[in-house]
Structure 1
Amino acid sequence: MSPAEQENDSLSSLEDRIQRAVQMVTVLRQEREAAVQEAAEAKREAALLAEEVKTLQAERKQVRSRIEKLLGQIDQLSAS
């Protein structure tokens, strides 16, 4: 193989490796962007769920208070 052919093969090999590297970087960037978007969505969902938990806890507290009041009234009726 002549030096010109070897140089051409080396250049071709380098070109192939660079093209693969560019493709890999492109794929990795796309995957990273998808992961960032997924993380942001998960964060939004977690915030919504935390707010829902807070609301449900407040409702539960109200229901407990009302039930305790009703039980107190029943106790008063029973004591009479």
Structure 2
Amino acid sequence: MSPVEQETDSLSSLEHRIQQAVQLVARLRAEKEAALEEAAVARTEVARLTEQVRTLESERKQVRHRIEKLLGQIDQLSEA
């Protein structure tokens, strides 16, 4: 193989490796964007579920208070 052919092969090889690197970078950027979007959706869902838990805990506390009040009234009827 002549020096010119070797140089051409080396250049072709380098070009191919650079193209692969560019494709890899593009794919990784797309994956990163998808992951960031997925994380944002997950954070929104966590916030929604956290608020739902707070609401349910508040409702449970109110129901417990009402039941305790009713039980107190039943106790008063039993004593009378």
> Which range, TM-score by smaller chain?
over 0.9
Q: Distance in 1 between matches of 2:19 and 2:79?
A: 89
- Counterpart position of 1:36: 36
Offset at residue 11 of structure 1 (A): 0.3
Q: Distance in 2 between matches of 1:65 and 1:32?
A: 49
* TM-score normalized with structure 2 length: 0.99
Aligned identity (percent) is 70
Q: Distance in 2 between matches of 1:52 and 1:78?
A: 39
* Runs of 5+ unmatched residues, structure 2: none
Amino acid at match of 2:2: S
Amino acid at match of 1:71: L
After superposition, give the CA deviation of every residue in 1:25-68 in whole Å (9 maximum; x if it has no partner).
00000000011001111100000000000000000010001000
Q: Distance in 2 between matches of 1:52 and 1:12?
A: 60
SS of 1:56's equivalent?
helix
Q: Distance in 1 between matches of 2:22 and 2:9?
A: 20
Q: Distance in 2 between matches of 1:27 and 1:7?
A: 30
- Counterpart position of 1:74: 74
How many residues are aligned here? 80
Amino acid at match of 1:66: R
Q: Which runs of 4+ in 1 moved over 6 A?
A: none
Offset at residue 9 of structure 1 (A): 0.1
Q: Distance in 2 between matches of 1:78 and 1:34?
A: 65
* TM-score normalized with structure 1 length: 0.99
